[in-house]
Amino acid sequence: MKRREAREKAVQTLFQLDNTEMSIEEAITYITESPIDPFYESLVKGTTQYREEIDVVLAEKLENWSLDRLPKIERTVLRMAVYELLHNEDVPHRVVLNEAIELCKQFGDEKSGRFVNGVLSKFEEK
């Protein structure tokens, strides 16, 4: 599985997990088949594991918005992108931004991509 596809599936899985009682394993099984791609799995489990930390960092970057008010797709993509920015040092900052924008265009709309770009551009490059 290519990284782009892994990110797409991870967004779908995390979207499924947001506000449901489904376990991570159930959501993974629902979205993808075995064998499970390690990058995909790390995105889902990492974003879930660090969600509280990610939400605190994200809330600091949002202007005139609260995390709860964000549309679900933007919130999901932002959480995953922030996980990558904070915990996945082998992926360049620019790649994370571009992938997040493309995911928003795919699952949301053009405004979603611009909004996510604006939020993620506030993160310093490492």
CATH of the domain at 11: 1.10.940.10
Residues 43-86: pLDDT tens digits? 999 999 999 999 999 999 998 889 999 999 999 999 999 999 99
User: Does a structural domain hold residue 113?
Assistant: yes
Q: Indicate whether 126 belongs to any domain.
A: no
User: Residue 31 contacts by C-beta under 8 Å, 6 or more apart in sequence?
Assistant: 9, 12, 13, 16
**Residue 85 domain-assigned (yes or no):** yes
User: Peptide bond before 92: cis, by omega within 30 degrees of 0?
Assistant: no
Evaluate whether residue 78 is within a structural domain.
Answer: yes
d(CA 84, CA 87): 5
pLDDT score recorded for residue 126: 56
Proportion of the chain above pLDDT 90, given as a percent: 76
Q: Is the pLDDT of residue 18 over 70?
A: yes
Decide if pLDDT at 125 tops 90: no
pLDDT in tens, 81-103: 999 999 998 899 999 999 999 99
Structural domain range at position 14: 3-120
Domain count, the chain: 1
